[in-house]
Structure 1
Amino acid sequence: MTWLLDGLRETDYTRLLKTKEVYVDYMGGCLYPEHLVHLHAGFLSSSVLGNTHSASNSSMLSLAHAKEARNMVLSFFRAPADEYTVVFTANASAAMKLVGEAFPFTGASSYVLCADSHNSLHGIRQYAAERGARVIYIPATPQGGVDFDDSEAILRKSALVSGSSTSSLFALTGQSNITNSKLPLSLLTVASSLGYSTLLDAAALAPTSYISLEDIRPDAMAVSFYKMFGYPTGVGALVVKKSFLRRLQRPWFAGGTVSIVQVPGSVVTRSYELHEQFEDGTINYLSLPAIVDGLRMLSAYMPFLPLRLSALTHYAITNLKSIVHDGSGRSVVRILSRHSSKRLHFVGEQADTGSIISAIFLGPDGEMLPNSFVEYAASVYNISLRTGCMCNPGGATALLNLQEDMDKLYSGITLHELERCVGHELGVVRISLGLASNFWDVWSVVKFVEKLASGSTRTDLWERWLETHKTR
């Protein structure tokens, strides 16, 4: 049923076969289909595009393609055009920063977020704290994510303290990029009913999951397009309610966001178009046409993607858990991330988790192998994976049971000092699947781990890894 994805892999990812690279870091960035690059290069070669802040023919063409891209983004996420607009940004982090810096926090406000969130949401607490707002965390469960009932109780308690007339914000990461949890989007509806403004970080959710803003209706949602279909980088979006944008109070202005500026003086008239008030400088007008092609492509494959990834993830987890060291019989891999509670069987079904496997690797005596060693060993076998805390300290803390160590942190502490206190390198080894993943990829990862189970092979890799550390 997912043969269309096999065809995409064969025709648009020929470079993987040529380089023999096994790419399993889709949560870090999706690999682009080659036809998107060729299509965009052809468009640029035959078009004259100018800066959108003009009325020339070239500028009008750029504006027309920017408008098409906005409409395509709204359509892809089922966002009602009369209610939502699109602000183009450099990435999802920049989209979330726009909300944080302009949100009208007061001393009576609350900023509520989940511990299992990306740093881009944690960073908003700086803006909230500067304006006297309370920062309230919803704790993560041991496998990440949140407990719905506990989350609702915290939201209700905070709303009672703040009062319904104050400006409070609830932010939710739709899918954790380390624990593999899909956090309940229905919490956005609960928060909205209690008077919160709501922000959805969909950077990790959008690449493999269907999102309908007709259903969940957050005030704002942040995405990065390179994570969805690989090309182009440097373009993200804030899909946002127009009514919410009007409430935001930008602390500065720039070229493109204003129509009149008094100099010297203090008079400023913002741009007539609402989205332009939040697009600093010149938008990436050369890349926006590629977003239209990318979303069209992804919409064709999205119905099949969860089914494919469910099968591959299940195969990988089942086989990785069965691999043991040849001498001691101990497991090589301890999987920490959340497992799906169900196998998908039909096209169009949605998974209750992502397609991420976060784990630690163990030696024959059960000790944790350094993540940097695992990453080095994987690179020897042309496997691209990722190690670390994935810019999600709350999720990593939950998986690694480090809350007591987290509570002891002090201002200015370095990563080296924290790792010395904990006793090992921080973070996990993350394997993440996506648009172009196939059976060969997960089979190759399993075979790599089987090599680490061999004492002689592991010893050889270890000695080579130590040599590379000496030269650094």
Structure 2
Amino acid sequence: MVCRVSVTSSVVRETRNSPSFAGFPKSSLRLLAGPAPFTGVAVSAGTRRCARSPVQLFRCRVGRGRDSAARVFATTATEKASPWWARQKELWTEVESEEHFYELVEQAGRERKLLLIDFYATWCHACQKVYPTLCLMAEDPKLTKNILFAKLQVDKFKTLVKKEGLTMLPVVRGYGNEGKFLFECSASPKKVKKLRQNLNTVLADTSRSYYEDPMGVLQPETEEMMARKAEKEAELKRLAKEKAALAKTMDNLASNGNGSARSVPRVKELNSKDPSKTQDPRKRMFLEKYKADYGYGGMIDELYQREIGSRLSENEHYMDYTAAALYCNSVIDNAMNELKSAVFGNPHSAAPSSVRTDTKIEAIRERILRHFNADPAEYQCVFTRGATASLKLVGETFPWSDKSRFVYLRENHNSVLGQRQYALAHGASFQAVDEDWVDTWLFGDNSESQDIDESLASPPGDGAEEPVYSLFAFPGEDNFAGVKYPLEWIHGVRAKSTENTKWFSMLDAAAFVHAQPLDLTAYPADFVSISFYKMFGYPTGLGALIIRTENVELLKKVFWGGGSVSLATSADNFHVLKCKPSERLEDGTVSFLDIIALEHGFNMVEKLGGPPMIQRHVASLADYLYEQLTSLRHSNGKPMAFVFGKHDHPNRHKVQGGIVNFELLGSDGHVLSYREIQEAAGQAGFHIRTGAECNPGACYKYLGIQDEEVERLAGTKEGCNDEVEYLTVQRTADFSSIGQLVTSQEILDAIEETKVPLGHAGEVAMKWVKVPLGSIRVSLGYMSTFEDVQALVDWVELRYRDKTSADF
């Protein structure tokens, strides 16, 4: 199979500075007519060819079309806001399912009409270019009286597409009486000009089958051709039957092992336990309160022993799920058994092992989109090295300009903060904001919201410039205190776009999706970063960027490599990026063996009941841990712990996730050393985390530290593992609580209250205090248990009750 890209002395003007077409001479520029601003297509009199693996499902043919063949049809304001494939939809019957496809074939036969199906992909440049031409035919009464026009989005029905044997895009197929397949012909921008002629040829005699000649004209098949075709179809059926039998054997081996490996039973096969029969009265009380939410219907104890218990001692308790989820024994067993059952080769080849790998990878992409309820027409799944790599990819390819704005929630992970360096490199500005600011901007009253809009407005241009692209980034759940932020912000950001300024949303979902459901149909974020080891522990070093299809063309890719290009030369600065978004954005060979293992992680999540059941399980434990920690008291009545986040919110499950972040307090009210607690907890068998958790915005907000106070540490605090644990700062004389941030006005008020003369230094009204630079984070997950939580509470009370820093 080949991917054809036309190149000549005339090339799209808009692509002059595009990395997709770097290196074309200035004299080679020409404006293409098309249905929308269109980049990424070269046109030519001469066609260059590049070898491309047949394992790839489609090829995209792109070329030059006349204005009449790419006429921009009139659209309403609503249509202009719609993606190209949704315009003039009243002219088409959209295939909704595989059954619907066959119903349309039968319907056309009953009505003695020709069924014409346009097979398209939302990411296909050529499909977009020829769509207006096809719409012209679909609204022509001379054709519609004899033809039923339908469309099929190939990414939604990959099994059907493979069954039908499609190998290129764009393409149209015709079906006649009794569902008979009549023809297939290219709908490339060049050959679509012949489509009306071809339709008239077929309508003149629907009893015959046709083939497409090299010029794109349909010709009747000869008897000899039909005989060869029948023989080939019979051979393909035989091979398909043998392949299905082999696949079934491989599936059995992957699921059950080769006879020596013990298969792990499904959750529903495990024996549930009666909560009333537990011996620990504290657990009995807990189960009475949370039995509807905790433990997946009573399965957790036996499930934990099967999946985790063999790798942890009885006194060990893993409570660091935000850093990495615990992988399950059955996930590892099933993944290894699958790898032992067949050979999986590099997908950039036509070898059988490569075809097998490519098929698995595409199935996993579909599984990921389905897990997040993302329409494959609207979203693409791009594999990366992790959530950080996904954020980096957006940062380095986003269409920044010196008028762009990068606005992000203060409580973002360091990897989101790192995106601002790309914005600054292009002259853009950035702004860190808090939750109240975002709510005011997006949903506040007109005057307050308008004031913020004016502060974010770009300087007026000359009217001939492209829109200004700006980005708003926030976490679904912050990785420090586990606070969840409103996904409704996504709709608010989208509504802020105007003709001159386009706003996009970046959702960092790395800490969110392990124990929270995410519905991208309900909350259509533009970019979503995912880390799979945070979801189910294995494999590591693998993540995904889930990106809206319509945004792919906006990304200005600079580096390219491996299989991301269709054409490239060595001596000249020339390259053409591939059409399919995943191929275009994934440089080099993806971690294909790790991707194959993802299926077994998703299987485990589904066995537990999916994200909603995991969410309920984790929430019950987080509630209990918060209640227990905040109830601990020293003998003098002072609290032993101070917990951050929104655990006490009336609607806490909507705004608080499965993280319990806290400081331990001595009997004198001072914060105890989190470094000492980390070391002692480790020795006692608790897997927890301390420090700033790579989230300085959230950490310093909760601890009441100003940015400039931290910046003074430059040269003193060198990294995450140095000895700097406290910051000595001035606070007002009445300072007593964690998180109390001093302001200049408070200093003046304190001076006024103590009647200190204004010429005085003011120390009388202030005091020097030590503020910690980190805290203690316990993060719960799908395999956390009551025993984990209770053991931690008991240990904290036993070790730190009635103690101060001087005791350690």
For the 8 Å contact 2:442–2:492, the answer to whether it is kept is no
Letter in 2 for 1:432: S
Quote the residue 2:624 is aligned against: 315
Q: 1:426 to 1:319 in 2, by over 3 A?
A: same
Letter in 2 for 1:269: V
Q: 1:449 to 1:320 in 2, by over 3 A?
A: same
Once the two structures are overlaid, the 10-residue window that deviates more, 190-199 or 89-98, is 190-199
Q: CA deviation at 1:160?
A: 3.2
Quote the residue 2:439 is aligned against: 148
For the 8 Å contact 1:170–1:197, the answer to whether it is kept is yes
Quote the residue 1:334 is aligned against: 642
Q: How many Å separate the matches in 2 of 1:78 and 1:235?
A: 20
Q: 1:203 to 1:406 in 2, by over 3 A?
A: farther
Q: CA deviation at 1:120?
A: 1.0
Once the two structures are overlaid, the 10-residue window that deviates more, 150-159 or 352-361, is 150-159
Once the two structures are overlaid, the 10-residue window that deviates more, 10-19 or 233-242, is 10-19
Higher relative contact order (CA 8 A, sep 6+): 1
For the 8 Å contact 2:725–2:774, the answer to whether it is kept is no
Q: How many Å separate the matches in 2 of 1:61 and 1:255?
A: 20
For the 8 Å contact 2:703–2:771, the answer to whether it is kept is no
Quote the residue 2:18 is aligned against: none
SS of equivalent to 2:612 = coil
For residues 249-307 of structure 1, the C-alpha deviation after alignment (integer angstroms, 9 at most, x for no partner) is 11211112112221111101112322111112110100112212212321342232222
Quote the residue 1:101 is aligned against: 396
Q: How many Å separate the matches in 2 of 1:150 and 1:407?
A: 28
Q: How many Å separate the matches in 2 of 1:421 and 1:456?
A: 22
Quote the residue 1:81 is aligned against: 376
Letter in 1 for 2:379: Y
Of 45, 49, 60, which residue of structure 1 is paired with 2:355?
A: 60
Q: 1:137 to 1:288 in 2, by over 3 A?
A: same
Q: 1:223 to 1:155 in 2, by over 3 A?
A: farther
Q: 1:343 to 1:178 in 2, by over 3 A?
A: same
Q: How many Å separate the matches in 1 of 2:800 and 2:341?
A: 55
Q: How many Å separate the matches in 2 of 1:87 and 1:432?
A: 28
Structure 2, gaps ≥5 residues long = 1-291, 444-448, 461-465, 498-502, 730-769
Q: How many Å separate the matches in 1 of 2:494 and 2:704?
A: 32
Q: 1:168 to 1:150 in 2, by over 3 A?
A: closer
Quote the residue 2:478 is aligned against: 176
Once the two structures are overlaid, the 10-residue window that deviates more, 76-85 or 451-460, is 451-460
Quote the residue 1:369 is aligned against: 672
For the 8 Å contact 1:32–1:231, the answer to whether it is kept is yes
Of 555, 576, 579, which residue of structure 2 is paired with 1:269?
A: 576
Once the two structures are overlaid, the 10-residue window that deviates more, 213-222 or 160-169, is 160-169
- 1:396 matched to 2:699? The reply is yes
SS of equivalent to 2:521 = helix
SS of equivalent to 1:120 = helix
Q: How many Å separate the matches in 2 of 1:105 and 1:215?
A: 28
Q: CA deviation at 1:455?
A: 5.3
Q: How many Å separate the matches in 2 of 1:157 and 1:174?
A: 27
Paired positions, count: 451
Letter in 1 for 2:620: A
Letter in 1 for 2:638: R
Q: 1:158 to 1:282 in 2, by over 3 A?
A: farther
Q: CA deviation at 1:414?
A: 2.9
For residues 100-133 of structure 1, the C-alpha deviation after alignment (integer angstroms, 9 at most, x for no partner) is 0000100111111110101111000000011011
Quote the residue 2:315 is aligned against: 20
For residues 73-119 of structure 1, the C-alpha deviation after alignment (integer angstroms, 9 at most, x for no partner) is 01000000111110000100100110000001001111111101011
SS of equivalent to 2:642 = strand
For the 8 Å contact 1:148–1:184, the answer to whether it is kept is no
For residues 292-345 of structure 1, the C-alpha deviation after alignment (integer angstroms, 9 at most, x for no partner) is 22123213422322222222112111111122234x44222111222153579x
Q: CA deviation at 1:459?
A: 8.0
Structure label with greater radius of gyration: 2
Q: CA deviation at 1:437?
A: 0.8
Quote the residue 1:118 is aligned against: 413
Quote the residue 2:511 is aligned against: 204
SS of equivalent to 2:390 = helix
Q: 1:217 to 1:370 in 2, by over 3 A?
A: same
Q: How many Å separate the matches in 2 of 1:386 and 1:354?
A: 17
Q: 1:4 to 1:201 in 2, by over 3 A?
A: same
Quote the residue 1:386 is aligned against: 689
Quote the residue 1:470 is aligned against: none
Letter in 2 for 1:368: V
Q: How many Å separate the matches in 2 of 1:420 and 1:406?
A: 8
Of 471, 485, 494, which residue of structure 2 is paired with 1:192?
A: 494
SS of equivalent to 1:213 = coil
Letter in 2 for 1:319: Q
Q: How many Å separate the matches in 2 of 1:418 and 1:12?
A: 37
Q: How many Å separate the matches in 2 of 1:343 and 1:406?
A: 34
For residues 24-77 of structure 1, the C-alpha deviation after alignment (integer angstroms, 9 at most, x for no partner) is 111111101110000001011112011111111111111111101100001000
For the 8 Å contact 2:374–2:520, the answer to whether it is kept is yes
Q: 1:340 to 1:48 in 2, by over 3 A?
A: farther
Q: 1:303 to 1:404 in 2, by over 3 A?
A: closer
TM-score by length of 1: 0.89
Q: How many Å separate the matches in 1 of 2:657 and 2:780?
A: 9
Quote the residue 1:244 is aligned against: 551
Quote the residue 2:594 is aligned against: 287
Q: How many Å separate the matches in 1 of 2:386 and 2:531?
A: 5
Q: How many Å separate the matches in 1 of 2:682 and 2:350?
A: 51
Q: How many Å separate the matches in 2 of 1:122 and 1:67?
A: 32
For the 8 Å contact 2:703–2:772, the answer to whether it is kept is no
SS of equivalent to 2:395 = helix
For the 8 Å contact 1:88–1:283, the answer to whether it is kept is yes
Q: How many Å separate the matches in 2 of 1:306 and 1:159?
A: 37
Q: How many Å separate the matches in 2 of 1:16 and 1:303?
A: 27
Identity %: 30
For the 8 Å contact 1:323–1:453, the answer to whether it is kept is no
For the 8 Å contact 1:370–1:424, the answer to whether it is kept is no
Q: How many Å separate the matches in 2 of 1:211 and 1:459?
A: 47
Q: 1:265 to 1:244 in 2, by over 3 A?
A: same
Q: How does 1:222-241 map to 2 (within 5 A)?
A: 222-241=529-548
TM-score by length of 2: 0.53
Quote the residue 2:79 is aligned against: none
Structure 1, gaps ≥5 residues long = 345-349, 463-472
- 1:37 matched to 2:344? The reply is no
For the 8 Å contact 1:388–1:426, the answer to whether it is kept is yes
For residues 342-363 of structure 1, the C-alpha deviation after alignment (integer angstroms, 9 at most, x for no partner) is 579xxxxx64310111111122
Q: 1:444 to 1:312 in 2, by over 3 A?
A: same
- 1:129 matched to 2:431? The reply is no
For residues 166-216 of structure 1, the C-alpha deviation after alignment (integer angstroms, 9 at most, x for no partner) is 111111111111122111111111111112011110001111111111011
For the 8 Å contact 1:155–1:191, the answer to whether it is kept is no
SS of equivalent to 1:259 = strand
For the 8 Å contact 2:672–2:805, the answer to whether it is kept is no
Letter in 2 for 1:451: L
- 1:414 matched to 2:711? The reply is no
For the 8 Å contact 1:159–1:194, the answer to whether it is kept is no
SS of equivalent to 1:214 = coil
Q: How many Å separate the matches in 1 of 2:489 and 2:315?
A: 43
Of 424, 441, 444, which residue of structure 1 is paired with 2:791?
A: 444
For the 8 Å contact 1:138–1:151, the answer to whether it is kept is no
Letter in 2 for 1:296: N
For the 8 Å contact 1:117–1:176, the answer to whether it is kept is yes
Once the two structures are overlaid, the 10-residue window that deviates more, 429-438 or 410-419, is 410-419
